[in-house]
Amino acid sequence: MNTAPITADRDVAYHTQLDTQLVEAVGDIKLLGLTSWPAALQAPFLASVARGQPVLPQVDYPKLDFGDTRQALAKISDRCDPSHPLGQYVQRSAQSWDLAAGLLESLGTAAVDGYSVQLYGAPEQPLPGHGPSTREAARHFIQIAQELDHELLAPEEQVPVSATALMLQLQSDLDAFFESRIIQVQLDPDLISKAAAGPTRIRLRTSARFSAYDRAQLFHHEALVHSLTALNGREQPHLPSLALSSPRVTATQEGLATFAEQITGSIDIERLKRISLRTEAIAMAREGADFIQVFRYFCDAGQNHEESFASAQRVFRGVPTVGGAAFTKDTVYLRGLVSVHTFFRHMLAEDRLQICRWLFAGKMSLTDAIEFAPLFEEGILRPPRWLPHWVSRANGLAGMLAFSLFANRIRMDQLAAE
């Protein structure tokens, strides 16, 4: 009698139970929420800048103890079978959440920097294929953006849009895509960043002004990657954690979202510049620049005071404002973009483009998507219920990737020499 399927079912049920325990254990680990600054810090700092005597912001972080949570995560990790793809996934996830808990227990100290690097990497980390570092890539995009003439922008690209107008436009876009009200767009006066996305809600800062590109960026980046993968993850019967933003999938999530902007023509050079400036600012802070110096760096790069404060606080989330440490999450945008772009081209070359679609079935890493392939094929994991149009149209995606593969063979330095 062949008992292999029964054994497989038992393995799936066993790790489903562990994954469910994982979801229950990490409910209080709100990494970005607990590291973010209160909005009330902005006005006093900008007032000190206006007086010509800027004062370093002082952030009071809560004293947190995740001892019980970390013990639970250790037990879950120890019980996983790393030879099974589900076991390996749950074990990696548990270890990632443990690092996040350690980071939160260290809030307000330079130790956050070390945890952050383990979770998100550092500016000096090389890009895939032993390429240049993330910081070198950032400087490349900053230089190109600075060399471009802003007068090249079309008139409609220079007209700012209010948060209220964008809310109405984006809500219409989302309702049309999902054919119902699945995601609600709301205004939030206390939001420091211009926008934030959850599974069923996108918030816009009430006072923010948005560019013509922001509508498409929010639609393709926030809604159709971050929110959509969470919604699809909720459809998974065996891995409920695929609906969670696990720290270990951040690089893939942000890379996939930024790649979505790129492949839909929704990303502009100013957006690449903003991402790149944050990477350079993180490197500066780790080298000793304090909050005031990083704030001035963003100002000198063309951001207004409010934007510069918001950008600088992202760099100093959880760490002392005196310099020497940073919260390195924003390095994942460029590195993730290159990694995802490389991954898609590699899957095309191997005739495995289906795996790229499975990336949207929940919040997973690139490695997870490959290792989960047999589970998708066997029906243990469900394919994504919702897919962005650019992914579902396989022929169009393959065409763009095929051209990219060929274009990489052209040597720009040789063209310049002709």
- Look up the pTM and report it: 0.89
Q: Which residue has the higher pLDDT, 159 or 28?
A: 28
**AA identity, residue 195:** A
Q: Residue 418: pLDDT above 90? A: no
Does 323 have pLDDT greater than 90?
yes
Work out the mean pLDDT of the chain and round it to a whole number: 90
pLDDT at residue 393, rounded to an integer: 74
pLDDT at 25 over 60: yes
Question: Do 104 and 65 meet the contact criterion of CB atoms below 8 Å apart?
Answer: no
Residue 190 pLDDT class (50, 70, 90 cuts): confident
Rounded to an integer, what distance in angstroms lies between the CA atom of residue 400 and that of residue 397?
A: 5
List pLDDT tens digits, range 127-146: 887 779 999 999 999 998 88
Of 4-18, 21-35, 91-105, which gets the smallest average pLDDT? Answer: 4-18
Q: Give the mean model confidence (pLDDT) for residues 375-397.
A: 89
Which residues lie below 8 Å from residue 203, measured CB to CB, with a gap of 6+?
A: 185, 186, 187, 188, 191, 195, 196, 197
CB neighbourhood size of 26 (10 A): 26
Q: pLDDT (tens digit, 9 = 90+) per residue, 26-46?
A: 999 999 999 999 989 999 999
How far CA 343 is from CA of 5, 46, 56, 383, 392, in Å, comes to 32, 43, 42, 19, 17
Contact status, residue 58 vs residue 40, Cβ threshold 8 Å? no
Lowest mean pLDDT among 238-247, 295-304, 316-325, 389-398: 389-398
In the numeric block, the tokens 């760096």 are attached to 297
Percent of the chain with pLDDT over 70: 91
Checking if the pLDDT of 412 tops 50, the result is no
Predicted confidence band of residue 286 (pLDDT cuts 50, 70, 90):
very high
With beta carbons less than 8 A apart as the criterion, state whether 120 and 328 touch.
Answer: yes
Task: Give me the residue label for tokens 């383990």.
Answer: 118
pLDDT of residue 396 exceeding 60, the answer is yes
Q: Is the pLDDT score of 394 beyond 70?
A: no
pLDDT level of residue 409 (50, 70, 90 thresholds): low
- Is 409 exposed, middle or buried (CB count within 10 Å of its CB: 0-12, 13-18, 19+)? exposed
Q: Would you state the pLDDT for residue 20?
A: 97
Tell the burial category of 209 from Cβ atoms under 10 Å away from its Cβ (0-12, 13-18, 19+). middle
- Give the mean pLDDT of 327-350: 92
pLDDT in the model for residue 86: 95
Give 113 or 264, the one with higher predicted confidence.
113
> Which ranges constitute the DSSP H helices of 198-249?
212-217, 228-233
The token pair at 69 is: 């949570």
Report phi then psi at 192, rounded to 5.
-80, -50
